Amino acid sequence: MNLKVLLPFQIFAVRSGVKRIVAETREGSFGLLPQRQDCVTALCPGILVYETEAEGEVYMAVDEGVLVKTGPDVLVSVHRAMAGSSLAKLRESVEQEFLELDEEERSARSVMAKLETGFLRRFANFKHA
């Protein structure tokens, strides 16, 4: 099979000679083999596993998205993805990414709170003038 993983603004991975793929949906995990019928499914955040002759088993943390299989081609489109050779390293990478996202989210919330406070203060001054 040919696997292509797309992110919103770039191609994350392109692999050929993929023997099998295991993905997670809201209904649970399912596997794709080369002879499986064409399908479309919504992916939930989790681990996508694929196997090639050259790389062996590769783990990829993916955010929610869509998987489409047509013939030998499998297209995965997700918001975010990270690859790792072992689950332990992938776990560390995902934890670090979430810590960075949490810090960015806190910063964005702080900026928004300041903007809202400034707007309300100016609005109250305008109303009293």
Each residue's pLDDT tens digit, 49-94: 999 999 889 999 888 899 999 999 999 999 888 887 678 777 777 7
Average pLDDT across the chain, whole number: 85
Same domain for 72 and 117, yes or no, is: no
Which own/partner pairs from 90-98 qualify as long-range (CB within 8 Å, at least 24 positions apart)? 90/47, 90/59, 90/60, 90/61, 93/61, 94/61
**pLDDT confidence tier of residue 98, bands split at 50, 70 and 90:** low
14 and 76 part of one domain: yes
Q: In terms of domains, do 32 and 59 share one? A: yes
Torsions phi, psi for 13 (to 5 deg): -155, 145
* Distance in angstroms (rounded) separating the CA atoms of residues 62 and 68: 15
Q: What is the pLDDT of residue 99?
A: 59
**108 and 80 share a domain?**
no
